[in-house]
Copies of this chain bind each other. A is one copy, B any other.
Amino acid sequence: MMNDLIGKLFLWAFANPVLDRQDDQGVVEIRGVRVAVSTDSFVVDPLFFPGGDIGELAVNGTVNDVCMCGATPLFLTTGFILEEGMPLETLKKIVESMRAAALKAGVTIIAGDTKVVNKGKGDKVFINTTGIGIVERGLSISSGNLQPGDVLILSGTIGDHGITILSQREGLAFQAPVESDTAPLNELVRCIVDAGGEGVHAMRDPTRGGLAATLNEFAVASRVGIKVHEDRIPVDPAVAGACELLGLDPLYVANEGKALVATDESAAENVLKAIKKHPLGRNAAIIGRVVREDPGLVSMRTRLGTWRIVDMLVGEQLPRIC
Copy count, this protein chain: 2
In the complex formed, the residue of B with least CB distance to A92 is B9
In the complex formed, the residue of B with least CB distance to A88 is B5
Enumerate A4-48 residues with CB–CB distance to B below 8 Å: 5-7, 9-10, 13-14, 16, 18-19, 25-26, 28, 30-33, 35, 37-43
Please indicate which of the listed interface residues A26, A109, A111 has the most CB atoms of chain B within 10 Å of its own CB: A111
- Asked whether A95 and B10 contact (CB < 8 A) given A39-B79, A319-B117, the answer is yes
A99 at the interface (CB under 8 A from B): yes
Cβ 8 A contact of A126, one of B81, B88, B98: B81
Listed in ascending order, the chain A residues whose CB lies under 8 Å from chain B are 2-3, 5-7, 9-10, 13-14, 16, 18-19, 25-26, 28, 30-33, 35, 37-43, 74-75, 77-82, 88, 91-92, 95-96, 98-99, 102, 108-118, 120-123, 126, 128, 130, 132, 134, 319-320
* Cα distance, A38 to B128, chains bound together (Å): 13
State whether B110 touches A16 (Cβ < 8 A).
yes
In the complex formed, the residue of B with least CB distance to A37 is B111
- Asked whether A16 and B134 contact (CB < 8 A) given A81-B126, A126-B81, A128-B41, the answer is no
